[in-house]
Amino acid sequence: DVKVTQSSRYLVKRTGEKVFLECVQDMDHENMFWYRQDPGLGLRLIYFSYDVKMKEKGDIPEGYSVSREKKERFSLILESASTNQTSMYLCASSPHRGPEKLFFGSGTQLSVL
């Protein structure tokens, strides 16, 4: 089975801190994604990557950056955390070809105080 692992299940940070959310997948997938999920707003795409060193902005990239130095790892960075970034963050991966069947990690519930 495909495994997408997010480093933390729960995280509490202070306003202004730099936050790293890590995601690793073990199925050699080309594509990786970062979403945030908020009640009433559904899943919203922050950034995605279709190859190593490649990154593309999603629908809500402001306040975030990403890094993909290795194929299996896709990191989301909050340069200076703010309270409106309190959310559930979901990482996903998918193979390069075929329908985009996403495999999701378990999520990181981030609280910014």
Partner 1 sequence: GQNIDQPTEMTATEGAIVQINCTYQTSGFNGLFWYQQHAGEAPTFLSYNVLDGLEEKGRFSSFLSRSKGYSYLLLKELQMKDSASYLCAVRDPGNTPLVFGKGTRLSVIA
Chain contacts with partner 1 (rule: CB under 8 A): 4, 31, 33, 35, 40-45, 48, 50, 58, 90, 99-107
Distance in Å, CB of 77 to partner 1, minimum: 19
End-to-end Cα distance, the chain: 36
The residues that bridge with 49 in the sheet, in sequence order, are: 32
> Which tokens belong to 33?
């994604």
CB 21 within 8 A of CB 89: yes
| Residue 16 C-beta: closest distance to partner 1, Å | 29
Q: Which is nearer to partner 1, 5 or 65 (CB)?
A: 5
**Of residues 18 and 97, the one with the C-beta less far from partner 1:** 97
User: Are 31 and 95 spatial neighbours (Cβ–Cβ below 8 Å)?
Assistant: yes
Measured at the alpha carbon of residue 26, what is the angle toward residues 85 and 28, in degrees to the nearest 5? 105
Nearest distance, CB of residue 11 and partner 1, angstroms = 15
CB of 28 to partner 1, least distance (A): 18
Measured from the CB atom, the residue of 16 and 100 that comes closer to partner 1 is 100
